[in-house]
Structure 1
Amino acid sequence: MKKIILSLALSGLLLSCNKSNDTTQKKTLVITSNSHAQEPSSIALQEIIDEYTKSNPEIKIDFIPGSSDYEETMKTKMATNSLPDIFATHGWSINRYKEYLEPLNDREWAQYVSPAIKPVITDTNEKFYVLPLDVDIVGLPYNLDVLEKAGVDPKTIKTTDDFLVALEKVKNIGVTPIYLGGKDSASIGNIYDWIAPGLIILTNDNPQGENLKNGIFDEKAWNITGEFIKTLKDNGYINRDALTGNDAARALGTGKAAFLFFGTSMIREGLTYNPDARMDFIALPTKERDQKSYFITGERLALGAWKDSPNKKEALDFLDYLAKPENISKMATANVLPTGLTNAKSDLGKFESSYDLGDKYQYVGFFDREYLPSGAWETLCSIGAGIISGQLTVEEASKKMKEDFDKLKNK
């Protein structure tokens, strides 16, 4: 009897040990994203994760969607070298996160990286560090119903002078030409980010691109950007509640505004307020007519693997799974953007032709990511708000920009 009891006890102990070993052997990956929980891309990514863990029960994945302080959180994690196994680089895979990421050139899917995104995510050694799920292509969203009423053909807007003429015509029919949402300061920063290339980079007269990349900030040249924002304000081309409003998608969709300095996702959101609205986007204008108008391209949702992750092999395996054409298609379709890999295709719906851009345009990266040091985005937002509120002159805004530029470039 004692032998039987001892045998049962040993069996239970072994079973307990086996269960313990099963638990310890299960790998847990942490994935973070800059997309908020309710965004279509977060929902799509969670669905892909669920499918992956079904087929790979030895892997557990904790997906943490983004929040408003995602950037600050990631800075803290970089400082302590305690990053997630996989994380979204929100446009900074090279200039901020490169030293923390595993190079991905040797992955099987690397051959399919889209030429529209490859220059943005590739360093001077021809290495890249993220899987681009889509390609962020930024133009100027507009409401065609408003523009037709104002007698404006959006396709004829090639220069900043053309743009200002169009804004005046919209103002004359009693509609707000540009809606800015100050509660989301991004739209104010976006004016700089989107217009600066056409004013001081893609220009025949004193282009500033190389200067900025070499750490040289010319206040006089920068004044051109501030003067443009002041012109918008002084001529009544922006909504009166630009520093407090938060209704951009509704304003565009319902015809209360003609243009937005927000991403093209606002078009999709605007349709929820008015499904019959005719909305699209155009290339951004340049100062000089002999320069092609341009689109901004960059990372919308790109994920990389932390090079020091204790689960690096598993992280890379998941990225390979995510890179399957059907998964890339699902992620890019969620953001209504072209795919980051050429062996996949997204469903762009009514915007299919809008993204068929061809070579008649120029393509540039996001201005703050290409030409300004990390952290300068907040300065763009604050000096833009200062000009709009009247608290800063153009010259004072340029001085503040130079001070922060010089301080941040040395960090």
Structure 2
Amino acid sequence: MKHTFVLFLSLILLILPGCSAEKSSADTAKKTLTIYSTMSTDSERDTFRKLTAAFEKEHSDIRVSLHFPGNDYENMMRVRMAANDLPDLFDTHGWGKIRYGEYTADLRDMKWTENLDPHLNSILKNKSGKVYAYPINQAKDGLAYNRNMLDRYDIDPPETMDDFMKALRTIKEKSKGKIVPFWFAGYDKSSFAQYYDQFATPLLITDPAHNEKKQLINGTFQWSKFTYLSDILKQMQKEKLINIDAVTAKKSQLIELMAQNKIAFTMQGGTLGHDVAQINPNVEVGIIPTPAIHAGDAPIWIGGERYTLAAWKDSPHLKEAKEFISFMARPANAKQMAEATSLPSGLTNVKADIYYANDYEHYQNVKVEPYFDRLYLPNGMWDVLGTAGQELAADILTPQEISQKLKREYKRLREQSETQGAENNE
């Protein structure tokens, strides 16, 4: 009996290595594509996962490893850039040329580039024709609002900052304080960063009489001119035109509050309208361009690339990475992704049925301006803007002190960027 057991165990041990070797061989035969994305909502990620699974089914020799790092994305990518060890495919999240350009493969030879929306040319192409990334969608940011509330109180969508302030005061007064006029999810500092970044363009760029492009680029900008945005935000807070928990409120609360008719305006766009409709179809969310600040100026969209797929130029699987991009650029797949994100596609041959389609059509002649920080601020200023907003709302710093802080950080980060650039060129 003992000899029989030993013989049986020996056979098992002989068989197991063979099975393991067979499995290892099969796994090794598959090439793994690693993808990093900044997609943040469940609907966006679920659709991306579904299309990825369809790609894997079509390409049985390729496995795709998806990663959604969330708020850690930028830090993780900085580390990987420093080590020159990037994912096979990654999201340039608005920095296709400026931050990631030297790491991206040229995609100009791909068929979908024939249908690249011309509005994205200055953002995703250079003068020699290099295409830096495939745009999954394109952003047109403004103000999201509860159309029910504006209709109830007979308020026209604001076109100027004065109109906006008047609308907020009317909502507070007529709702007897039951509705938050302008809601911030300040626990995530990007909510305040978005406010500063979005309104900085009409304050400092679009009006010819207040154009500070040259000064911002050459480092001579007087940051006292930025104080206006902090003054306005602080005024809103004093008049209780923003939520009293603006510093601690979380993005996860937004959909439910909007669905309960407790919010009038917010900075959040994307899938908000669609997500609110899933909870309460009677609440209609609209989106409008960013209001003008100076007299005589016009509202603008703030936009450019939102989600992209760039291929790392040194990827050992560059061929497969391009195959994945080609798959995602198929009109049917591109349409699915655009609709999942509630934003227009980056391709002219794709017409997505998105929640804000009527609003985008209504404002189709409104100019689209690039994100302020991507053109005029050094790398790292987005976080500084967000922290500054938190400190202002928490009464840690005054509007004037905020401008002084921004001036110091702007100078420090510019010098840091110039030093790093010099080191990279050595």
Q: Quick one: which amino acid aligns to residue 365 of structure 1?
A: P
Q: Does the 8 Å CA contact 1:253/1:267 hold for their aligned counterparts?
A: no
Give CA deviations for 1:219-245 in whole Å, capped at 9, x if unaligned.
Answer: 122122222222222222111111112
Q: Is the 8 A contact 1:180 1:245 kept in 2?
A: yes
1:218 to 218, 222, 244: 222
User: What's the offset of the Cα at 1:320?
Assistant: 1.5
**For the Cα contact (< 8 Å) 1:252–1:259, is it kept in 2?**
no
What percentage of residue pairs aligned between the two structures are identical? 32
- Asked if residue 275 in structure 1 is aligned to residue 281 in structure 2, the reply is yes
TM-score of the aligned structures, taking structure 2 as reference length? 0.87
Deviation of residue 26 (structure 1)? 2.8
SS of the equivalent of 2:296 reads: coil
Match of residue 104 from structure 2: 101
Q: Which residue of 1 aligns with 2:353?
A: 347
1:295 corresponds in structure 2 to: 301
1:61 corresponds in structure 2 to 64
Relative to structure 1, is the Cα distance of residues 290 and 53 closer, same or farther in structure 2, using a 3 angstrom cutoff?
same
Using the alignment, how far apart are the partners of 2:39 and 2:404 within structure 1? 34
Q: How does 1:2-21 map to 2 (within 5 A)?
A: none
Tell me the distance in 1 between the aligned counterparts of 2:239 and 2:292: 20
2:341 alignment counterpart: 335
Distance 1:335 1:347 in 2: 11
- 1:8 matched residue in structure 2: none
- Equivalent residue, structure 1, for 2:39: 35
Bigger proportion of residues as helix:
2
Output one character per residue of 1:348-367: Cα deviation in whole Å (capped at 9) or x when no partner: 15x32112155531211122
Tell me if 1:234 matches 2:238: yes
So what's the TM-score if we normalise by structure 1? 0.90
- Report the equivalent of 1:50: 53
The equivalent residue for 2:116 is 113
> What is the Cα deviation at residue 18 of structure 1?
9.2
Change (3 A) 1:54 1:265: closer
Give ranges in structure 2 of 5+ residues lacking alignment: 1-16, 418-426
How many matched pairs?
Answer: 395
Is 1:147 aligned to 2:150, yes or no?
yes
In the TM superposition, structure 1's runs of 4+ consecutive aligned residues that sit over 3 Å from their partners are 13-25, 123-126, 357-360
Letter in 2 for 1:164: M
Shift of 1:371: 1.8
Question: Which residue is equivalent to 1:322?
Answer: 328
Preserved CA contact (<8 Å) 1:143 1:258:
yes
When the two chains are superposed, the root-mean-square deviation of aligned CA atoms in Å is 2.3
| Residue 258 (1) aligns with residue 259 (2) | no
Give the corresponding residue for 2:407. Answer: 402
Residues of 1 paired with 2:261 and 2:225: CA distance?
35
2: CA distance, partners of 1:16 / 1:238: 61
User: Which residue matches 1:381?
Assistant: 386
Letter in 2 for 1:352: A
Structure 1: 5+ residue stretches without partners: 1-12
More moved, 385-394 vs 113-122: 113-122
Quick check: 2:189–2:389 contact (8 Å CA) kept in 1?
no
In 1, the alpha carbon distance for the partners of 2:52 and 2:285 equals 34
**Distance between the aligned counterparts of 2:184 and 2:22, measured in 1?**
60
What CA distance in whole angstroms lies between the structure 2 residues aligned with 1:48 and 1:148?
39
* Local SS of the residue matching 1:47: helix
CA displacement at 1:22 relative to structure 2: 5.7
Greater Cα shift, 384-393 or 269-278: 269-278
Q: In 2, are the aligned partners of 1:141 and 1:259 still within 8 Å (CA)?
A: yes
C-alpha change, 1:361 and 1:279, in structure 2 (3 Å) is same
Matched residues in 2 for 1:224 and 1:339: separation? 35
Q: Aligned pair in 2 of structure 1 residues 290, 61: CA closer, same or farther (>3 Å)?
A: same
Partner of 1:132: 135
2:80 alignment counterpart: 77
Q: 2: distance between equivalents of 1:28 and 1:84?
A: 11
Is 1:187 the counterpart of 2:188 in the alignment?
Answer: no
Tell whether 2:204 aligns with 1:200.
Answer: yes
